[in-house]
């Protein structure tokens, strides 16, 4: 589970970077109040939230005693 979680976290980081590059290209020269720019910013916020949530879950699992961690990995 830890490897899968780490892979998911790495994939989220890649997705954030790609999305952010797209956002920078599209938003260049536009106002921050432009509806499309606002939508892109919200998309970045959602990806960052998912990343932070995944990191938190990973940290919770890593802090569990070994016996509890093995049970959590099975689930």
Biggest CA-to-CA distance, the chain: 55
**pLDDT value, residue 45:** 93
Per-residue pLDDT band for 17 (boundaries 50, 70, 90) equals very high
Characterise 11 by phi-psi region: left (phi > 0), alpha (psi -120 to 50), beta (else): alpha
- Whether pTM > 0.75 for this model: the answer is no
**pLDDT value, residue 56:** 87
Per-residue pLDDT, averaged over 36-60, amounts to 89
**pLDDT value, residue 73:** 55
Per-residue pLDDT, averaged over 18-23, amounts to 90
Alpha-carbon distance of 4 to 8, in angstroms, equals: 6
Per DSSP, the residues of 13-72 read HHHHHHHHHHHHHHHTTS-TT-HHHHHHHHHHHHHHHHHHHHHHHHHHHHHS-HHHHHHH
């Amino acid at each position: 589970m830890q490897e899968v979680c780490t892979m998911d976290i790495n994939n989220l980081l890649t997705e954030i970077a790609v999305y952010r590059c797209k956002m920078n290209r599209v938003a260049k020269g536009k106002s921050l109040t432009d509806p499309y720019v606002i939508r892109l910013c919200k998309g970045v916020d959602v990806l960052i939230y998912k990343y932070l949530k995944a990191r938190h879950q990973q940290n919770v699992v890593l802090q569990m005693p070994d016996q509890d961690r093995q049970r959590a990995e099975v689930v």
